[in-house]
């Protein structure tokens, strides 16, 4: 079930080692195909941009957060947008076009399974991520997504989640997800992929469920070659002259002033705290390493510290490390950090989407 990455497959047709600085308008230059996608739990559209980088058309999106809706519509102008819990899509009338999708994409909220979260302590509890969202039982959302796939019957299902889903007591959820996807008529493969292997200057390991409808015949999917890792220093070398506003917003405070200089590049602050006071704290605060890809960017990106200067990262640096376009429009500085950390890196999606496009969707026959 769990698949390994290939090392002998051609790239997806995207230059993964250059042109890290790009803009939304560059998507107009990508050669288009007729493949249509719907993205659920769409957030700011990280996955959406990955599919567009692969020449696909993302015709519909869904999210529960009004602020994410503003960003998605402002930046991506979708044909259809559904601001509602995904469960509502199981009963309301939907455009006929959504019953002819090539891909149904989704990144169900994953904090209940995150290694850095509360794991099973949060299971079956109603939660919300931020103001403006409704309460939801987060670990049920993956099954609502599968139910929507059962209703729409896309040719392919692609779902992304944290690797914590594969460990400990979460394995039961993983097995049930696999059972349900296969039970609605799909052949499933599961991959663990690191964004750093996809041309993203960030170590971000995620599990991807990739399933093809049983009435289509295609070979087992093999992933493209891994790309050379891009270190932090190389990725953001042209962004080190800060504006006055950036200097103000990234100024070091609190524990950063106390522990940044005592933390080795690439380390968590917890090691410096342990060396100084004999106990560990500030686990999630990190001083990055200029010679390695960034650590995983989360919604709490203020805990990420520059490797060479005692300061936080700028939004421009975070965009680059997440492979986002530099002209992405944000409603506010506060929403920018949250959205970037919650999104799937576009190049990570493009890496997988290109393989699905070439090996399955543009090269398949009905059984």
**185 shares a domain with 67:** yes
CA distance 324 to 337: 12
Q: How confident is the model at residue 364 (pLDDT cuts 50, 70, 90)?
A: low
Q: How confident is the model at residue 355 (pLDDT cuts 50, 70, 90)?
A: very high
CB 314 within 8 A of CB 165: no
**73 shares a domain with 208:** yes
Average pLDDT for residues 226-232, to the nearest whole number? Answer: 97
Q: If you average pLDDT over every residue of the chain, what do you get?
A: 89
**217 shares a domain with 114:** yes
**180 shares a domain with 237:** no
- Quick one: 318 exposed, middle or buried, by C-beta within 10 A (0-12, 13-18, 19+)? buried
Half-sphere exposure at residue 82, Cβ-oriented, CA atoms within 13 angstroms: 21
Task: Answer yes or no: is 101 within a domain.
Answer: yes
In the structure encoding, which two tokens stand for residue 246, read together?
């950036």
Phi and psi angles of residue 154, each rounded to the nearest 5 degrees, phi first: -65, 160
**Of 50, 88, 49, 46, whose CA–CA distance to 68 is shortest?**
46
**pLDDT above 50: residue 83:** yes
**89 shares a domain with 236:** no
Average pLDDT for residues 313-340, to the nearest whole number? Answer: 96
**191 shares a domain with 305:** no
Average pLDDT for residues 236-257, to the nearest whole number? Answer: 96
**136 shares a domain with 6:** yes
**53 shares a domain with 195:** yes
Q: Which pLDDT score, from 0 to 100, does residue 17 have?
A: 45
Per-residue CA distances from 204 to 199, 313, 342, 348 (Å): 11, 17, 12, 9
Residues in the chain: 367
Q: How confident is the model at residue 180 (pLDDT cuts 50, 70, 90)?
A: very high
**155 shares a domain with 16:** yes
Contacts of 303 (CB under 8 A, 6+ apart): 284, 285, 286
Task: Answer yes or no: is 367 within a domain.
Answer: no
Render 108-172 in DSSP notation, one character per residue: ---TTT-TTTTGGGGTT-EE-SSTTPPPEEGGGHHHHHHHHHHHH--SEEEEEEEGGGGSGGGHH
- Start-to-end CA distance of the chain, whole Å, equals 22
CATH code for the domain in which residue 102 is found = 3.40.50.150
Q: Which residue range forms the structural domain that includes residue 258? A: 232-341
Largest CA distance in the chain: 66
CA distance 328 to 163: 28
**pLDDT above 80: residue 149:** yes
Q: What is the pLDDT of residues 310-323, one digit of tens each?
A: 999 999 999 999 99
Q: How confident is the model at residue 109 (pLDDT cuts 50, 70, 90)?
A: confident
**73 shares a domain with 205:** yes
Helix, strand, coil percentages (3-state) for the chain, rounded to 5, are: 40, 20, 45
CATH code for the domain in which residue 243 is found = 3.90.120
The mean-pLDDT minimum among 9-13, 34-38, 98-102, 318-322 falls in: 9-13
Q: Which pLDDT score, from 0 to 100, does residue 8 have?
A: 35
Residue in this structure with the two tokens 């975070």, named with its chain if needed: 318
Task: Answer yes or no: is 237 within a domain.
Answer: yes
Task: Answer yes or no: is 188 within a domain.
Answer: yes
Q: Which pLDDT score, from 0 to 100, does residue 290 have?
A: 98
Q: Which residue has the higher pLDDT, 136 or 175?
A: 175
Report how many domains make up the chain: 2
Task: Answer yes or no: is 366 within a domain.
Answer: no
Task: Answer yes or no: is 116 within a domain.
Answer: yes
Q: How confident is the model at residue 235 (pLDDT cuts 50, 70, 90)?
A: very high
Q: Which pLDDT score, from 0 to 100, does residue 135 have?
A: 53
Task: Answer yes or no: is 365 within a domain.
Answer: no
The mean-pLDDT minimum among 4-13, 91-100, 324-333 falls in: 4-13
**Of 328, 331, 332, 333, whose CA–CA distance to 313 is shortest?**
333
**pLDDT above 70: residue 76:** yes
**335 shares a domain with 264:** yes
Task: Answer yes or no: is 103 within a domain.
Answer: yes
CA angle (26 as vertex; 161, 40 as ends), nearest 5? 25
**148 shares a domain with 14:** yes
CB 336 within 8 A of CB 188: no
């Amino acid at each position: 079930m769990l698949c390994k990455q290939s090392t002998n497959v051609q790239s997806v047709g995207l230059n993964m080692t250059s042109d890290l600085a790009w803009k939304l308008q560059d998507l107009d230059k990508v050669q288009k195909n007729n493949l249509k996608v719907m993205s659920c739990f769409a957030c700011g559209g990280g996955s959406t941009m990955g599919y567009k980088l692969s020449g696909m058309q993302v015709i519909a999106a869904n999210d529960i957060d009004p602020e994410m809706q503003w960003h998605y519509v402002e930046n991506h102008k979708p044909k259809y947008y559904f601001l509602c819990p995904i469960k509502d899509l199981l009963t309301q009338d939907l455009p006929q076009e959504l019953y002819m999708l090539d891909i149904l994409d989704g990144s169900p909220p994953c904090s209940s399974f995150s290694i850095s979260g509360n794991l099973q302590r949060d299971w079956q509890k109603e939660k919300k991520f931020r103001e403006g969202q409704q309460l939801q039982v987060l670990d049920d959302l993956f099954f609502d997504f599968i139910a929507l796939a059962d209703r729409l019957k896309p040719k392919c299902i692609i779902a992304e989640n944290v690797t914590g889903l594969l460990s400990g007591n979460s394995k039961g959820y993983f097995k049930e997800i696999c059972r349900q996807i296969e039970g609605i008529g799909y052949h499933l493969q599961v991959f663990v992929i690191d964004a750093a292997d996809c041309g993203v200057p960030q170590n971000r390991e995620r599990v991807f469920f990739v399933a093809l409808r049983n009435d289509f015949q295609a070979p087992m999917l093999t992933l493209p070659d891994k790309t050379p890792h891009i270190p932090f220093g190389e990725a953001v070398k042209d962004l080190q002259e800060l504006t006055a506003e950036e200097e103000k917003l990234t100024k070091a405070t609190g524990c950063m002033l106390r522990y940044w200089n005592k933390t080795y590049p690439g380390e968590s602050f917890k090691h410096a705290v342990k060396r100084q006071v004999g106990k560990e704290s500030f686990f999630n605060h990190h001083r990055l390493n200029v010679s390695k890809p960034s650590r995983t960017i989360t919604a709490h990106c203020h805990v990420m510290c520059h490797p060479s200067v005692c300061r936080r990262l700028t939004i421009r640096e975070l965009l680059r490390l997440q492979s986002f376009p530099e002209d992405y429009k944000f409603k506010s500085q506060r929403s920018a950090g949250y959205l970037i950390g919650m999104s799937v890196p576009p190049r990570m999606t493009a890496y997988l989407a290109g393989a699905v496009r070439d090996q399955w969707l543009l090269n398949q026959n009905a059984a």
